[in-house]
Amino acid sequence: MLAQPLIKINEAVAKITDLQFQTNISIHHKDELGELGHNLNLLSKKLKITINQLENELNKNTNLLKQQQELIDDLSHEIKTPLSIITAYTQAIKDNINPQLNNAYLCTILSEVTKINSLLVKLLNISAYESGVLNINAQSFDLVELVEEIAGRILIDQSLKELNIICNLPQSIFIKADKDLLAKALTNLVLNAYLYVDENNTIKITIKNENNTVLFELYNSCEFISNEQLKNIWKRFYRIDKSRSKNTGGSGLGLSTVYHILKLHNYQFTAKYKNNGFHFSLII
C-alpha cells in the first residue's frame, strides 16, 4: 500500500534536488503521507516561483547578474541537506525498516519541508533588500520602546538560560525609520546574542543620544571571533561555528538580513570582538 506513493515521493525529491520543479505528486491518502505529498507539491511550486522571480530580477538589471546567480547557487546548496534527509526517511518507510517509527519518520520529513519553506521566504526577503527596489516607509517612533519589546520577547521570556541582562536605556528616544524593517533587524541581532552567548550569559543593551545622533549598542559574551570571521558574518549562510548553528537551528541568514536592512537606511554600523564578547554598534 505504501510502496507506490513513496516511490512517487522519492522521484519528486530527486527532481527537486536537480532544480526541476514541474513535478506534481498525486497521492490520495488522507493521512501524513497524503499531507507530505501535498506539501512537496507546494514546495516544488514555491521553488519554481522563487527561481523565476530571481531570473526576472536579472532581466530588470544586468548589474544584479552575479548577485542573483550567487543566490540561486546558495539556494541549490542549502536545500540539498534537507532533501537528502527527506529521501533517506522516505526510503526507510518504503523499506519498512522499523514500522513503529514510520510516523516519526513522516514528522521529520514534514519538518524538513517546513525548513525549506522558511528558507525560501528569508532568501526572497534578502533578494529584495539587495536589489534596492524596496521603498523605506519612514515614520517616527520610540526606539527605546521597540527595543524593550524585542528584548522582553526574546530574552525575558526565555527560561532555558539564566541570563545576566544589563540594559542602559533612556526613558525614550524618537527616531524616523522604517519601523517594521528595523524591528526585523534588531530582532535578529538580539536573537543572535541570545543564541550565541557563552557560559557567562552576559547580554548588554545600550541606547544613548550623542551629538545629535542615536547610538545603539549590543554586547554578548562569547568565544573568540577573529577579524577574518567578523568580515564574513554578514554573508548569506556564513556560520562561525557550523556545529553550534545546527544545534541552535540557525539558518545563517539572520545577520545578512540585518546588514541589508541597515544598508537600506544608510546607517553606519560596526561589529567587533572586545571585552571577551561580540560588540555591535549602530549609529542612527
Q: Which residue has the cell 530582532?
A: 187
- Give Cβ neighbours of residue 110 (< 8 Å, ≥ 6 apart): 32, 35, 36, 39
- In this structure, are strands 213-221 and 277-283 parallel, antiparallel, or unpaired? antiparallel
Domain boundaries, the chain: 3-131, 138-283
For the cut 80, the answer to whether the pLDDT of residue 271 exceeds it is yes
Selected from 3.30.70.270, 3.40.640.10, 3.20.20.60, 3.30.565.10, the CATH number assigned to the domain covering 138-283 reads 3.30.565.10
C-alpha 178/C-alpha 162 separation (Å) is: 33
pLDDT tens-digit profile of 117-132?
777 777 777 777 776 6
Q: Write the secondary structure of the chain as one string of H (helix), E (strand) and C (coil).
A: CCHHHHHHHHHHHHHHHCCCCCCCCCCCCCCHHHHHHHHHHHHHHHHHHHHHHHHHHHHHCHHHHHHHHHHHHHHHHHHHHHHHHHHHHHHHHHCCCCHHHHHHHHHHHHHHHHHHHHHHHHHHHHHHHHHCCCCCCEEEEEHHHHHHHHHHHHHHCCCCCCCEEEEECCCCCEEEEEHHHHHHHHHHHHHHHHHHCCCCCEEEEEEEEECCEEEEEEEEECCCCCHHHHHHCCCCCCCCCHHHHHHHCCCCCHHHHHHHHHHHCCCEEEEEEECCEEEEEEEC
Contact 220, 196 (CB under 8 A): yes
pTM > 0.85: yes or no: no
Does the pLDDT at position 278 exceed 90? Answer: yes
Q: How far apart are CA 231 and CA 127, in angstroms?
A: 20
> What is the C-alpha R_g of the chain?
22
| Residue 183 reports pLDDT greater than 70 | yes
Instruction: Say if residue 164's pLDDT is above 80.
Output: yes
Q: Which of 31-35, 56-60, 116-120 has the highest mean pLDDT?
A: 116-120
Is residue 195 within 8 Å of 160, Cβ to Cβ? Answer: no
